[in-house]
Amino acid sequence: MKKFITILLILFVSLSTSSCMNFLERVFFNANGSGEYSFSVDMSQLRSLAELSGEEFSSEKMMSEMNMDENKMIQKLEAIEGVNNVRTEFDDENFTVTMAFDFTSIEALNTGMSTYMADSTKSEIEMFEFFSMKKKTISRTGLNRILESFEEGLNEGSEDQELDMGMMKMMFGDLHFATEIVTAKKIKSFSNQEYTRKDDNTISWILYPFKDGNDKKDMSVVIKIK
């Protein structure tokens, strides 16, 4: 993932002095602990910039040119027990790209997320616990590998492209990471008030990494379902 994010950053920097790029992680849970994981990147601003420059862009074409699955991520995910229906989805209308998979258990979800978020520059995949589930309680740890990968990619991109960090903050001030946790059964309560309730079954958390004070935000949460 780090290499993928690094390439995105370089593309934005090379095409614009004021860019917006957003990331959405969404996890859906059935009552038995199975569900669906997805991670989407909204690149609509990049499409607008490309069109202004006379380029013809589609999300699929761009991902192909960027070698999105250069490290055989789809094959690695498909090899995990309990992970299935791995797919990459392209939305040319909204210019978003999504990686998604279904999981049969919390263990499969954690393994899938660890594999997807692994440092592609390393040969070994480090395993993390992102979620746990016990009866009617779902817990999300504060581990934010997406943000860590972004920061690593940003540092790598800055070294390669001699980017000014002050300029980067100005350019990416509106960039955000959002997490949505959705449950098949209604949510009774949740512990972290940084999350907001979108509906009876969905809570969301958002982080603007380039805005002051956001470095202290915590995405851990304990959810009680009815």
Q: Which of 125, 111, 124, 121 is nearest to 81 (CA)?
A: 111
Q: What is the pLDDT of residue 128?
A: 94
For residue range 122-175, what is the model confidence (pLDDT) as tens digits?
A: 778 889 999 999 999 999 999 988 777 666 665 655 554 445 556 656 666 677
Q: What is the pLDDT of residue 139?
A: 98
CA distances (Å), 184 to each of 99, 129, 178, 181, 226, in order?
A: 21, 22, 20, 10, 10
H or E element in which residue 189 lies? strand 187-190
Helices (H), 96-164: 106-116, 145-161
Tens of each residue's pLDDT in the chain, 226 residues = 545 554 455 455 444 444 567 889 999 999 999 999 999 988 776 666 666 656 666 656 655 554 455 568 888 999 999 999 999 888 877 778 889 999 999 999 999 999 988 877 777 888 999 999 999 999 999 998 877 766 666 565 555 444 555 665 666 667 788 999 999 999 999 999 999 999 999 999 999 877 776 667 899 999 999 9
Running DSSP on this structure, what letter comes out for residue 216? Answer: G
Q: Walk across the sheet containing 221-225 and list its strands.
A: 131-134, 137-140, 221-225, 187-190
Q: What is the pLDDT of residue 70?
A: 55
Give ∠ CA 178-99-9 in degrees, rounded to 5. 65
